Homo-oligomer: A and B are copies of this chain.
Amino acid sequence: MASVEETVRGLKYDDNGLIPAIIQDRASKQVLMMAYMNVDSLLATIKTGKTNFWSRSRKKYWVKGESSGHTQDVHSIRIDCDLDTVLIEVTQHGAACHKGYFHCFYRRLDEAGQWQVTEQRVFDPEKVYKK
């Protein structure tokens, strides 16, 4: 039987060693965000029960909520048919989006072809990230 590390290494990563991870809220089923993981951050996610990612812009590991306190408790980890996308169900503490919304998809395309904000902020990013 494969070890968890072999299972994780058996997934399909892109040329940068990354796999997209869709994060879904367990209670509301809202898709909260998408971010990228590598082997080490996925293993850390499994081991700690908190979501860990790789930041493509900052080129470093990050634990969701490390600055804001808005961590995500992992409930389940699923893989798709092609082994190249992860779906993680979580309990979200606080809010997922660094812009202050509960989730990152707070803008909807309207009939005129414009993005409309449909959600209300649940925290003030300036206060949370200045702490």
**Residues of A1-41 contacting chain B, CB below 8 A:** 1-5, 7-8, 20, 22, 24, 29-31, 33-34
Q: Is A104 a contact partner of B76 (Cβ separation < 8 A)?
A: no
Nearest residue, chain B, Cβ from A28: B29
- The complex places the Cα of A82 from the Cα of B24 at a distance, in Å, of 17
Q: Mark A95-119, 1 if CB is under 8 A from B, else 0.
A: 0011101001111110011110000
Chain A's interface size range is 35 or more
Whether a CB of chain B sits under 8 angstroms from the CB of A66 is no
Binding site for B on A (CB under 8 A): 1-5, 7-8, 20, 22, 24, 29-31, 33-34, 46, 76-82, 85, 87, 97-99, 101, 104-109, 112-115
Q: Is A80 a contact partner of B104 (Cβ separation < 8 A)?
A: yes
Set of chain B residues within 8 Å of A31, measured between Cβ atoms:
22, 24, 31, 87
